[in-house]
Amino acid sequence: MQPIIQVRGLEKTYATGFQALKGIDLDIRRGEIFALLGPNGAGKTTLISTVCGIVNATAGTVTVDGHDIVRDWRAARSLIGLVPQELTTEAFESVWATVSFSRGLFGKPPDPAHIEKVLKDLSLWNKKDSKVMALSGGMKRRVMIAKALSHEPRILFLDEPTAGVDVELRRGMWEMIGHLRDSGVTIILTTHYIEEAEEMADSIGVISNGRIVLVEDKAALMRKLGKRLLTLQLQNPLESIPAELAGYPLTLSGDGRELVYSFDTQDDQTGIARLLRKLGDHGIDFTNLHTEESSLEEIFVSLVKERA
């Protein structure tokens, strides 16, 4: 199936001469949740803003469901909802008015039933007559999402959707975003909370210094780059790793009581049995052992560090 968003050779140089995007190629599949990760200043907002037609590209092309964002901007834009990073709502309007007005901006005829559904889905229905300025920060953020959904977009961009939102509300928003995906909306989000990507995303893209350094199915990424750690609690502390074990990827904790062995999750041959035999041969006994898998966060940090 044709990707819903196709980015080719996209470059952006700002008026200051700073090149924020350095030739981006990216395909976003229909109906997925795509998480764009990257350190501060990597180009996430620039990329999103360019695809949404807010920032003009210096070179390259973007098509949204086959519509070129420059030649066919109106059709492309009507398919997109954008929730920007900053809260920008009309403080004196009611929730109902501001969300209905957003729909009108896209030239769509009024549809109170749709607005009602959006507000109910976002748990804002009982606030529909409140002035936006009287809402909490988390509610204002949901009003931003309601505005972005008012014209029934097929693609929703969320730039840092849960920044500054408390843990409980964040979970609620993840759930809501999951429902949106289930209803067929393609979702692209940027986030600093790697846990958010780990929890929700189908695909992960990592951008660093204006270049996409990786795009991968989340599950495959975790399998491919994930490491497992086996930690052995030693019966008697060691001063150092014995010379006979020098060839093994082992580290010893500062107090000499824990020996940690790392191995690739994708390897069938973990080497654990051999290691344990070897430890037995050298009279190194352990009282306990446990394994853990590396998180997306660790994978991300090592990826960005590698390219820095």
Ligand X SMILES: Nc1ncnc2c1ncn2[C@@H]1O[C@H](COP(=O)(O)OP(=O)(O)OP(=O)(O)O)[C@@H](O)[C@H]1O
Contacts to ligand X by CB under 6 A: 14, 16, 18, 20, 38, 40-46
Mutual orientation of helices 95-105 and 112-121 as an angle, nearest 10°?
A: 120
Q: Is there a contact between 208 and 42 (Cβ–Cβ < 8 Å)?
A: yes
**Which DSSP state fits 42?**
S
User: Least CB distance from residue 288 to ligand X, whole Å?
Assistant: 41
CA–CA gap between residue 249 and residue 242 (Å, rounded): 13
Decide whether 43 or 81 has the Cβ nearer to ligand X: 43
**Nearest to ligand X of 19, 294 (CB atom):** 19
Nearer to ligand X, 50 or 150 (CB): 50
Residue at 268: amino acid letter: D
Reduced to 3 states (helix: H, G, I; strand: E, B; else coil), residue 293 is: strand
Q: DSSP secondary structure string, 162-205? A: TTT--HHHHHHHHHHHHHHHHTT-EEEEE-S-HHHHHHH-SEEE
Q: Which amino acid is at 117?
A: K
- Residue 17 CB, nearest approach to ligand X (Å): 9
Question: By the 8 A CB rule, do 188 and 30 touch?
Answer: no
CB of 18 to ligand X, least distance (A): 5
Nearer to ligand X, 11 or 90 (CB): 11
Least distance (Å) between residue 213 CB and ligand X: 13
Token pair 């975790």 is found at 222
Q: Which is nearer to ligand X, 18 or 73 (CB)?
A: 18
Contacts of 206 (CB under 8 A, 6+ apart): 36, 37, 38, 212, 213, 214, 215, 300, 303, 304
Nearer to ligand X, 158 or 234 (CB): 158
The two three-digit tokens of residue 292, written as one number: 């853990």
Q: Which is nearer to ligand X, 40 or 88 (CB)?
A: 40
Distance of closest approach, residue 245 Cβ to ligand X, in angstroms: 43
Minimum Å distance from CB 164 to ligand X? 13
CB of 42 to ligand X, least distance (A): 4
DSSP annotation of 20 reads E
Instruction: Tell me the closest approach of the beta carbon of residue 26 to ligand X, in angstroms.
Output: 14
C-alpha distances in Å from residue 300, one per residue of 38, 121, 152, 209, 287: 8, 32, 33, 14, 33
Residues 74, 77: Cα–Cα separation, whole Å: 5
Measured from the CB atom, the residue of 43 and 153 that comes closer to ligand X is: 43
